[in-house]
Structure 1
Amino acid sequence: MPMESLSIATPSGQTLSGALEMPTGLVRGAAVFAHCFTCTKQSRAAISVARALARQGIACLRFDFTGLGGSDGDFGKAGFATDIVDLIAAAEHLFERFEGKLLLVGHSLGGAAVLAAASQLGSSKVAAVATIGAPSDVPHVLHNISGDLDAIERDGEGEVTIGGRPFNLSGEFLEKTRSVDLLALVKDLRIPYLALHSPSDDIVGVEHASALFQAAFHPKSFVSLAGADHLLTNPSDAEFAASIIASWAQRYLPLRDDWPMPEDGVVVQTGHGKFGTEVHTATHRFVADEPRSYGGDDTGPTPYDLLLAALGTCTAMTMKMYADRKEWPFDGARIHVTHERNHAEDCGHALSAEEEGMTAQALNRVIEVFGDELTEEQRRKIIEIADKCPVHKTLEGHLHIHTES
């Protein structure tokens, strides 16, 4: 997916390092992802969720909290209250750029942070909130710290270990972490909520999800991440969580009213990335792109893929319609269509007078007919009717393209 590097200023003057995952096509909305305790925006969950949302047309910002990853500041003095300030700064940045309400997504302590941030931002700016493995009480995170917390409170600071990494924590960090009543904030929240949690999570037990779910008002949803660990280290678990959030979010970030949905034909509009392009019909939308070998993001079929698909699908439909009308035992067909750009060179094809000076191209179509009870004559007729498909006639006919501006 196209990705932009962002720098976000906080009210305290710190700079947060962010990565904005952009849809290849048009943007239907925006989201902020908050990573887990002492993780960074490069965590597996952060990348998987952000890119899954981008594939659904939702621009997603993953960023490093103060003092972590590429962000400024001292993590050991920041604490949970600073995480909330960071989240609000990130959300305001997206709110100004994309307008419309935002989706907030958080993993572990980041989940607690998005719930707290949503309570401050309110329903006028937040469309929905989703959490993965979030604790129902913020002080729970202190159980993951190896060190003498009593000494830190007495002396004002001290060395600890978190996840095998050394940190210098302040007494202020502990105070800010212990002062939050998250369940009280959730009880007052009137924003759609999705909780994802693994029943086998040995870092934050599933009872935390139960407490958050009970406290939240409807609309609320719960999805079990059965078999997953807390950090979603298995790629399939991260992708599953990401796909669920992306699908769920579509209900709360609907298509924009100003998106082109033509009554006839198609409308094509430039998207993001080098080649990303959005295609709209009266009832469908999808993305066209180029492969990475051509500098694209490979998030959709190429223009020539669409051309070949037009011929292939029209051929299949025409054959089926003919066989159904004849009431023949036709079980479908497989059509493989390829494109030759230099047909004259490849096949020694002689050019006509009209074709002189032009590059001779060809579409090669291989048709496989299924149906064990079909006779050879029926198979021959079905193959023969393939040349009668409307797209085939258009491509081989006298086609004129008229352009207006």
Structure 2
Amino acid sequence: MSGPELITLDGVRLDAVVHHPGARPRRGTVIYAHGITADKDEFGTAVRVADELASSGHAVLRFSFRGHGTSGGTQRGATIAGEMLDLEAAVTYAAEELPAPLSLVASSFGAVSTLLSLPWLDHRLHRLVLLRPVLDLHRTFVEPETPWGRQHYSPEQRKSAHEQGFVLVNGTFELGRVLFEELRHHDLAPPFQASTVPVLIVQGDQDTVVPYDAARQAAATRPFCHLHTLTGADHGLDGHEDEAVQTVVDWLGGDPDWPHSPAVLGAMRW
């Protein structure tokens, strides 16, 4: 592993690390985009995915979004727009320093900046994995359907954000009023539906953070998309992380021509 220097267009330094495939020929490059309140390690899940992919011949770039981990910026200053700039910096670095077919793993809130970036990112991607993703901001945050959402994004929490400038998420992350307001103004469905990159969604059917039904509906209505359900799994993947990691690694580490097979793409119209 090595630590590259990622600097965004607005001058924010991002903490990052690259897992190299060693002596193996590089089969591809993968970027891992973590969820809110996490960092480039994502509580160990991102490290496991990266190590497994590196052993199969992939370079993997993990980075912490601004305001997360030891990256620049502040928690309250983190925004969706800022995370889109962070992702752009990661993609630019990968294209210049790790040239190979590019795939992306977007976990939880990392899916938000990823999906909103698809209008310029889509044609650059080989494959996309959405791991327990936020696919519907309205159902997750604005009018939350899950216990976690109702706890952190209630009308009372919104009022608190407006008055004190932030809400405390998971007891550790100060989510600022600007990001809180951004959640009401973005629709993730149009860029997701317009994309043609092959997508794998991995999510537990007992997710108490993001609604599983949003993933089920998204996979059913978008071509080139497959949903792998982790039966009984919650958002944290406790007891199901092995299956989740292996599913992601197997899909990204498979036949490099696999996504471009017409027969396979047709079969993915679930």
> Normalising by structure 1, what TM-score?
0.57
Which of the pair has more CA radius of gyration? 1
In the alignment, which residue of structure 2 is the partner of 1:195?
201
2:5 partner SS: strand
1:165 is the counterpart of 2:165 = no
In the alignment, which residue of structure 1 is the partner of 2:266?
none
In the alignment, which residue of structure 2 is the partner of 1:60?
60
Q: For the Cα contact (< 8 Å) 1:45–1:107, is it kept in 2?
A: no
Give me the whole-angstrom Cα distance separating, in 2, the residues matched to 1:209 and 1:168. 25
Shift in CA distance, 118/104, structure 1 to aligned 2, threshold 3 Å: farther
Give me the whole-angstrom Cα distance separating, in 1, the residues matched to 2:32 and 2:9. 20
Q: For the Cα contact (< 8 Å) 2:199–2:226, is it kept in 1?
A: yes
In the alignment, which residue of structure 2 is the partner of 1:126?
125
1:174 is the counterpart of 2:180 = yes
In the alignment, which residue of structure 1 is the partner of 2:236?
231
In the alignment, which residue of structure 2 is the partner of 1:73?
73
Give me the whole-angstrom Cα distance separating, in 1, the residues matched to 2:135 and 2:175. 25
Aligned residue pairs total: 246
Give me the whole-angstrom Cα distance separating, in 2, the residues matched to 1:72 and 1:141. 25
Q: CA deviation at 1:108?
A: 0.9
Q: For the Cα contact (< 8 Å) 2:204–2:237, is it kept in 1?
A: no
Q: For the Cα contact (< 8 Å) 1:44–1:232, is it kept in 2?
A: no
1:34 is the counterpart of 2:47 = no
1:101 is the counterpart of 2:106 = no
1:199-235 C-alpha deviation (Å, 9 max, x unpaired): 11111121021132134222x211111232212244x
In the alignment, which residue of structure 1 is the partner of 2:244?
241
Q: CA deviation at 1:55?
A: 1.8
Q: For the Cα contact (< 8 Å) 1:22–1:54, is it kept in 2?
A: yes
**What amino acid does structure 2 have at the position aligned with 1:240?**
E
Give me the whole-angstrom Cα distance separating, in 1, the residues matched to 2:51 and 2:137. 28
1:7 is the counterpart of 2:5 = yes
In the alignment, which residue of structure 2 is the partner of 1:152?
161
Q: For the Cα contact (< 8 Å) 2:169–2:175, is it kept in 1?
A: no
Give me the whole-angstrom Cα distance separating, in 1, the residues matched to 2:83 and 2:73. 12
In the alignment, which residue of structure 2 is the partner of 1:350?
none
2:165 partner SS: strand
**What amino acid does structure 2 have at the position aligned with 1:148?**
Q
**What amino acid does structure 2 have at the position aligned with 1:133?**
R
Q: For the Cα contact (< 8 Å) 2:5–2:16, is it kept in 1?
A: yes
**What amino acid does structure 2 have at the position aligned with 1:45?**
T
Q: For the Cα contact (< 8 Å) 1:109–1:141, is it kept in 2?
A: no
Q: CA deviation at 1:86?
A: 0.9
1:207 is the counterpart of 2:216 = no
Instruction: Note the residue ranges of structure 2 that are not aligned, 5 or more in a row.
Output: 143-148, 259-270
Give me the whole-angstrom Cα distance separating, in 2, the residues matched to 1:202 and 1:168. 19
Shift in CA distance, 15/141, structure 1 to aligned 2, threshold 3 Å: farther
Give me the whole-angstrom Cα distance separating, in 2, the residues matched to 1:6 and 1:81. 23
**What amino acid does structure 2 have at the position aligned with 1:38?**
T
Shift in CA distance, 85/8, structure 1 to aligned 2, threshold 3 Å: same
Q: CA deviation at 1:253?
A: 3.6
Give me the whole-angstrom Cα distance separating, in 1, the residues matched to 2:141 and 2:46. 19
Q: For the Cα contact (< 8 Å) 1:53–1:59, is it kept in 2?
A: yes
Q: For the Cα contact (< 8 Å) 1:109–1:138, is it kept in 2?
A: no
- Superposed, which structure 2 residues align to 1:290-305 within 5 Å? none
Q: CA deviation at 1:190?
A: 1.0
> Normalising by structure 2, what TM-score?
0.83
1:71 partner SS: coil
> Which stretch of structure 1 is more off in the superposition, 102-111 or 240-249?
240-249
Show structure 1 runs of 4+ deviating over 6 A: none
Match of 1:16 among 11, 14, 17: 14
- Paired-residue identity, %: 25
2:168 partner SS: strand
Give me the whole-angstrom Cα distance separating, in 1, the residues matched to 2:122 and 2:173. 36
Q: CA deviation at 1:239?
A: 2.9
In the alignment, which residue of structure 2 is the partner of 1:91?
91
Q: CA deviation at 1:16?
A: 0.4
Q: CA deviation at 1:66?
A: 0.4
Give me the whole-angstrom Cα distance separating, in 1, the residues matched to 2:116 and 2:52. 24
Instruction: Note the residue ranges of structure 1 that are not aligned, 5 or more in a row.
Output: 256-405
In the alignment, which residue of structure 2 is the partner of 1:303?
none
